[in-house]
Amino acid sequence: MPELPEVETIKRELEQTVLGKKITGVVINNAKVIKLPEPEKFKKEILGRKIKNIIRQGKALVLELSGNKSLMVHLRMTGQLIYPADTKKARVSFSLSSGKLLGYNDRRLLGELKLVDDWRSLKFIQTLGPEPFDLTEAEFKQKLSTKTTKIKPLLMDQTFIAGIGNLYVAEVLFRAKIGPQRQAKSLSAKEKATLFCQIKKVLTEAIHFKGSSIDDYVQVSGRKGNFVPHLMVYGREGENCFTCKTLIKRISLGGRGTYFCPKCQKNA
């Protein structure tokens, strides 16, 4: 569930807390989350390096380290980065030169840590679509114009646009009054413009409120994000639409829970 706003929140917090610190120790409690290189090598190769720079690309987080190595972290569903952390909960914990621990938690073990020479050449990064904030309205409209797929799965496709997941796509489509099943290229110019505007608006607001703590997501400090009270449709099946009082529906689209207002969001 961590999407662009959650990962951006974490990135900003890490900049304030661990940037410039040196990694002085590593404890691996579950090696499953370490995808590259093998855990022993990972441990050996990361020791002594300093955290030089922190970057977010879509939902991926990159810690650039001294000596031309980078740690790519993808939280997937239940990954957390906690500082200062306590060892017990962490799948992997890093001792830092501050004397405190940076912990990687991951209840479901779906996340991944990769220590690599060149993070930009990772396949996931290579195929990532544009950052929403780097995209122009004209480019967005152009990209939509050829797509016959449904708008909701398209916006969640990380190779189409980076950073939007199941929660924010629901919010964006609700605010743009567009049904999740609309064919992408069938959107009018006005709808495309509204959609583009709402993508940036919703993501910006969610970053401002430090993300949505629906499942496991918390800030680096361990505190919850504050955007949940601002959600208009996600998770509101059977409740009244805030605009028209119609009951919010939940359907399955592309195998994902899809919330929308059948009256406000036109599917044709």
Partner DNA sequence: AATGGGACCTGCGCGC
Partner DNA sequence: TGCGCGCAGGTCCCAT
The answer to whether 107 contacts DNA (rule: CB under 7 A) is yes
The answer to whether 10 contacts DNA (rule: CB under 7 A) is no
The answer to whether 108 contacts DNA (rule: CB under 7 A) is yes
Q: Which is nearer to DNA, 60 or 220 (CB)?
A: 60
Which one of the listed residues 52, 69, 256, 263 is annotated catalytic? Answer: 256
Query: Residue 256: how many CB atoms within 10 A of its CB?
Result: 15
Who's near 37: CB < 8 A, 6+ residues apart?
45, 115
DSSP state string for 155-216: HH-TTTSSS--HHHHHHHHHHTTB-TTSBGGGS-HHHHHHHHHHHHHHHHHHHHTT---SSS
| Interface pick for DNA out of 165, 179, 180, 225 (rule CB under 7 A) | 165
Nearest to 126 by CA among 57, 222, 212, 27: 57
Which one of the listed residues 3, 6, 8, 112 is annotated catalytic? Answer: 3
Q: Is 39 a catalytic residue?
A: no
Alpha carbon 95 to chain centroid, angstroms? 25
| Interface pick for DNA out of 37, 84, 254, 262 (rule CB under 7 A) | 254
Stretch that binds DNA, among 10-18, 82-90, 135-143, 149-157 (CB under 7 A): 149-157
Peptide bond into 37 cis (omega under 30): yes
Q: Which is nearer to DNA, 23 or 206 (CB)?
A: 206
The answer to whether 167 contacts DNA (rule: CB under 7 A) is yes
Q: What is the CA radius of gyration of the chain?
A: 20
Helices (H), ranges, 88-188:
123-126, 137-145, 151-156, 166-175
| Interface pick for DNA out of 18, 51, 60, 101 (rule CB under 7 A) | 60
Kindly state the smallest distance separating residue 234's Cβ from DNA, in Å: 8
- The Cα 72–Cα 62 span in angstroms is 4
Which one of the listed residues 21, 56, 59, 91 is annotated catalytic? Answer: 59
| Interface pick for DNA out of 9, 80, 166, 198 (rule CB under 7 A) | 166
Q: Is 266 a catalytic residue?
A: no
Site for DNA in 19-58 (CB under 7 A): 32, 58
Residues forming contacts to DNA in the complex (CB under 7 A) are 1-3, 32, 58-60, 74, 76-77, 107-110, 123-124, 127, 146-150, 153, 156, 158, 165-167, 252, 254-257
